[in-house]
Amino acid sequence: MPILYSSDKRIFTIHTAHSTYQLQADALGNLLHLYYGARSEGHMDYLLSYADRGFSGNPNAAGCDRTYSLDALPQEFPTQGTGDFRSPLLIVRDAKGVFGCQLRYRSHEILPGKYSLPGLPAVYAGAEDGAETLQIELEDPRLGLSVTLLYGVLPALDIITRSAIVTNRGTAPVTVEKLQSACLDFVAGDFDLISFPGRYAMERQFDRRPLGRGTAVIGSRRGYSSHQYNPFVILCDREASETAGRCWAMQFVWSGGFRAEAERDQFEQTRLQMGISEEQFSYPLQPGETLTAPEVILSFSAQGLEHLSHQLHRCIRRHICRGKYRDARRPVLLNSWEASYFDFTGESILRLAEEAKALGVELLVMDDGWFGARSDDTHALGDWTANERKLGGSLGALVEKVRALGLKFGIWMEPEMVNEDSELYRSHPDWALTIPGQPPIRSRSQLVLDFSRREVRDEIYARICRVLDQGQIEYLKWDLNRSIAEVYSHTADDQGKVLYDYMLGVYEVLEKLNARYPELLIEGCSGGGGRFDAGMLYYSPQIWCSDNTDAIDRLRIQYGTSFGYPASAVGAHVSACPNHQTGRTTPLQTRAVVAAAGTFGYELDPAKLSEAERGEIRRQIETFCADAPLVQNGLYYRLSDPEAAPCCAWAFVSEDGARAMISAVLQEKHANMPALYVRVRGLTPGALYRDRETGRVYPANALMDMGLPLPLNLDQYDSFVWRLERIEER
């Protein structure tokens, strides 16, 4: 049993294969956090220390005991107003405007299978997976407020999930001013905080810094998880590396604004927490109403960052992503955007399809510009009706012509947005999030539709369906190209609810699309990687990693992404050179090697390629299709840091160690360079491996100890790939 309860001490113990999480409802009814680390038996309440801390308040229930203070004790779900002056997970204001909430343990239940969250994405697993749920009920009698803490356990994956449901069981309204989902309190330790900041076209850059006194905060105020910060953080020992040291991950299953905090307090204790953003959040609950905190995925590794990533990758691949394409190889696609931007016709799309088919491409995607009066990004967004004059006929007819060539057909949409110069906006200007009496703030010449409103969601869903029903469209790129600057819904009874309800509205539409079109592959996108998170992966098993398709920049983007997300989720394409974002020229082979660490596709016009390049692309597609099962399901190893090494290298190794693909890109070239060696990991110790290309045999131990020498004749930005197969003993 992964969840155990000791009634004498009211201690809850959660075991996974290699970790233990422990908490206690103490004698005063406070829920204290005891331990999260390497698997351990017994009770860890001995870790608690009590002393008169001075200026740290004592709860009334403690009587004259000045050694008991929540300002110094580790907690599971700290709230504001208890004498704990660290950052709380919950802040509540009552009907009289009084702040404060004091929750006490009331009851608990242990259930088979993993809980689900209605209307929200969440990790899924059944009792057949060995999953269990711990449900703990806390209450504040003064407010009539209850909080149900949810713990989901996937023991084989070393995954624990956290969520909370706040219910107003009283007779008066209350307002939730802050709600976070998970907290880890450490009584001791020197830690580094790893986060993944960035910007548009350079998302998820690895950032590691020592955690000192005070609070480190990252998050998004933009209404979405954002290009600037990712809702995923790691706390680790100062000496932790890829292969050694303790590390803890928090990954938010949420696509809206978020806040992650790491605080080292006056007693050298550390609190790590994560939840929805406090900015413009003020959620009223009438008697009987509930509010659910989105889920946080927790994972612990005592074997370094690499092992932690493997645990998260397995969880996302098998227990977040759903549908036909969870396990199936994704089709190799060609997207029309960098081939033609807005400047295309139905005839040119067909020519592009013919060229794509000749190369071995399986899916043609018609990007922005196919609808309404759309010829640039200033108008027609929201008018999801095909421009038949531009396409030379109906959308359905074009779909059939492309399919007749032997290709699947895909299409681009941006359902959450609207241009002021559109029929939709002229008919429903109040459907946009705008502040009355104030000129709207534009971004990319567009406004945000109010998906917190039922009528908006229903109409946009109906328009999407009318598009998809015109032919057998098998791929939808769901884009989003601006942040929310103005939070005002013209029908909301309280504006503090809008951002939360907006995200639930987006999820609702995506869930309905998945149910209606189970064969449809949805690729998430937000100007590339602006909404790359576990929440979106519940609805779209892949996300366009970045609008930046430059192979060298992508080394850094995909490196940072790999810490929390599997390669199967990473939308990656080979684009034309000079690259449209950076102007850099890299070899076609290198562009393919980098894109092959993702879903793989093309973003170029084949008509502009030489015959030699066409031949190379045919071989690239054949090779990728052969390698795809290993890329999609294998263990990913970061073999070098692209910021710190002249050679960026990574590997995919099958779970059983039988196959390995090692890729390397030479980032720097200097005169008379020393030989560079790529040290491999994940192979079977003591085994021999044969190179599929050359037939050469290598001993695994030497490959993992000294490595593979990169050929000395490589030029800057050249790449090299080794494909190894274990030689089985006969």
Handedness of CA 375, 356, 555, 311 (dihedral sign): positive
Active site residue 656: no
Tokens of 34: 């005891």
Instruction: Give the Å distances, CA to CA, from 681 to 243, 435, 706.
Output: 10, 55, 11
Of 318, 314, 331, nearest to 628 by C-alpha is 331
**Looking at 605, 613, 691, 725, which residue is catalytic?**
613
Q: What is the DSSP annotation of 203-267?
A: ----EEEE--SEEEEEEE-SSSS-SS--SEEEEEETT--SSSB-EEEEEE---S-EEEEEEE-TT
Of 250, 201, 205, 252, nearest to 560 by C-alpha is 205
**Looking at 139, 533, 550, 718, which residue is catalytic?**
533
Helix (H) or strand (E) holding 554: helix 551-562
Residue 214: left if φ>0, alpha if ψ -120 to 50, beta else—which one?
A: left
Tokens of 604: 């170029």
φ/ψ of 653, rounded to 5, equals: -130, 130
- Separation between Cα atoms, residue 236 and residue 299, nearest integer Å: 12
Cβ–Cβ contacts within 10 Å for residue 345, how many? Answer: 16
The radius of gyration of the chain's CA atoms, rounded to the nearest angstrom, is 27
Contacts of 115 (CB under 8 A, 6+ apart): 122, 133, 135, 150, 152, 163
Of 314, 474, 303, nearest to 399 by C-alpha is 474
Taking CA 522 as the corner, what is the angle to CA 518 and CA 528, rounded to the nearest 5 degrees? 170
Q: What is the DSSP annotation of 104-138?
A: EEEEEEEEES----TTS------GGGT-EEEEEEE
Residues 681 and 697 sit within 8 Å (Cβ to Cβ): no
Cβ–Cβ contacts within 10 Å for residue 497, how many? Answer: 21
Active site residue 533: yes
Of 557, 427, 542, nearest to 476 by C-alpha is 542
CA 585 from chain centre, in angstroms, equals 30
Tokens of 102: 């004091």
- Separation between Cα atoms, residue 262 and residue 270, nearest integer Å: 7
Return the active site residues.
Answer: 533, 613
